[in-house]
Amino acid sequence: MAVDPSAYVAPTARVDPGAVIGPRTRIGEYCVIESDVVIGADCLFEPYVYIKRWTTMGDGNQVSAGCVFGTDPFDKGFTGERSYLRIGHGNIIREHWTISRGTAPESVTLVGDGNFVMGSGHIAHNAVVGSNATIASCTLLAGYVEVEDRAFISGGVVVHQFSRIGTLAMIGGNVRVNSDVPPYFMYADFNVAAKGLNLVGLKRAGFGRDQITALKRAYQLLYREGLRLEEALVRIEEEVGTAEAKHLVEFVRGSKRGICRE
């Protein structure tokens, strides 16, 4: 058992000899850490956390009670091959989350750095969550979902398989996301619909007045002027031209499920 001498493992916890536990990490009561798990430094695991094999976690993660990471994917085609869950640094993951590893052999589910994940939800196989996102309670991310950096997903949101959520998008509570959600905007309604700019999120992210004004124009062209999608994207490129507008256009053009409408 490769447990750093400065780490703490509670007497009732079970750590497999094939696991690696980094410096100053604390493993709480009744936790289970399987073989082929690597946990970095300065992590905190509250009681009753279960980390299954082929999971890697970076430094400074805080995991609350009742979480299970690296579960077999919920996929009838899965036959037990080796796949992975990789979680970065500095994440806060609260009570009762399950995160599955990939479904295809050697595939990966990825969670980045600095995310705040509130209580009770699921991140499915092969999902990719960026960094500094907020995911509120009772949210379900299906397989192959992508969440870009600094997105905000409110409580009770269900995201359909293969959907993408753009950077600094803000999705309101109890929304069903069954298409791609472009970055920088705000969304609500049971069937996800665009509602304007995510002004609070943009200001918190340090966006200045000129950047916000440019994104307002991009929103108008995309959603308010009755243009065909490609025509709207060309107009955004011609009239806006900021780095954020470029990312917006690339995100929309890269969509395979289509984007939500207003």
Dump pLDDT digits (tens) for 121-131: 999 999 999 99
Q: Render pLDDT for 138-181 as a digit per residue (tens, 0 to 9).
A: 999 999 999 999 999 999 999 999 999 999 999 999 999 999 99
β-strand pairing of 55-57 with 44-45: unpaired
For residue 116, the surrounding DSSP H or E stretch is: strand 116-117
Q: Does position 260 have pLDDT exceeding 90, yes or no? A: yes
In angstroms, the CA 7 to CA 90 distance is 17
What global pTM score does this model have?
Answer: 0.96
The pLDDT tens digits of the residues spanning 80-119 come to 999 999 999 999 999 999 999 999 999 999 999 999 999 9
> How far apart, in Å, are the Cα atoms of 32 and each of 24, 43, 53, 65, 66?
18, 15, 11, 12, 11
32-33 vs 26-27, strand pairing mode? unpaired
Delineate the domains of the chain, giving CATH numbers in brackets. Answer: 2-198 (2.160.10.10), 203-253 (1.20.1180.10)
Using alpha carbons only, give the angle 142, 139, 87 rounded to the nearest 5 degrees: 70
Apex 158 CA angle, 143 and 87, nearest 5: 50
User: What is the pLDDT, as a whole number, of residue 214?
Assistant: 98
Mean pLDDT of 59-66: 99
State yes or no: pLDDT of 59 exceeds 80. yes
pLDDT digits (tens, 9 = 90+) for 230-258: 999 999 999 998 999 999 999 999 999 99
| Cα–Cα nearest to 37, from 19, 49, 24 | 19
Compute the average pLDDT of residues 32-45.
Answer: 99
Report the alpha-carbon distance of residue 67 to residue 15 in Å, rounded.
16
CA distance 12 to 125: 30
Name the average pLDDT for the chain.
98
- Burial environment of residue 76 by CB neighbours within 10 A (0 to 12, 13 to 18, 19 or more): exposed
**Percentage of residues of the chain with pLDDT beyond 70:** 100
The pLDDT of residue 262 is: 84
Please, is 11 exposed, middle or buried when counting C-beta atoms within 10 Å of its C-beta (0-12, 13-18, 19+)? exposed
Query: Which letter does DSSP use for residue 257 in this model?
Result: S
pLDDT exceeds 90 at position 1: no
